[in-house]
Amino acid sequence: MSELRHDPLNRRWVIIAGERAERPSDFELMVKPVETAEPCPFCDGHEAETPPEIFALRAPGSLPNGPGWSLRVVPNSYPALAIEGAADRRGVGVYDRMHGLGAHEVIIESPSHELDLADQPIEHLALVVRTWRDRIADLMRDVRFKYVLLFKNHGAPAGATVRHSHAQIIATPVIPRAVAVELEACRSHHELKERCLICDIVAQEVEDGRRIVALSESFVAFAPYASRFPFETVIAPRRHHHEFSQTTDGGLHAFAAILSDVLRRLKLLLRDAPYNFVLHTAPNTNVVPRRASYFTTLEYDWHWHVEILPRLTRVAGFEWGTEFHINPTPPEEAARLLREVEP
Element (DSSP H or E) covering residue 198: helix 197-208
So what's the pLDDT on residue 27?
63
Q: How far apart are CA 24 and CA 3, in angstroms?
A: 21
Active site residues: 166
So what's the pLDDT on residue 29?
47
Tens digits of per-residue pLDDT, 125-168? 999 999 999 999 999 999 999 999 999 999 999 999 999 999 99
So what's the pLDDT on residue 22?
62
Residue 170 has φ and ψ, to the nearest 5°, of: -125, 125
Tens digits of per-residue pLDDT, 23-51? 666 565 454 555 555 789 999 999 999 99
- CB-CB contact of 16 with 327 (8 Å): yes
Give pTM, 2 decimals: 0.92
The enclosing domain of 200 has a CATH number of: 3.30.428.10
- The count of domains in the chain is 1
Of the pLDDT bands very low, low, confident and very high (cuts 50, 70, 90), residue 82 is confident
Is the pLDDT confidence value at 193 over 90?
yes
**What average pLDDT score do residues 108-130 get?**
96
Dihedral of the CA atoms 328, 334, 336, 340 (nearest 10)?
120
So what's the pLDDT on residue 258?
98
Is the pLDDT confidence value at 20 over 60?
no
So what's the pLDDT on residue 2?
73
Domain residues for 283? 3-339
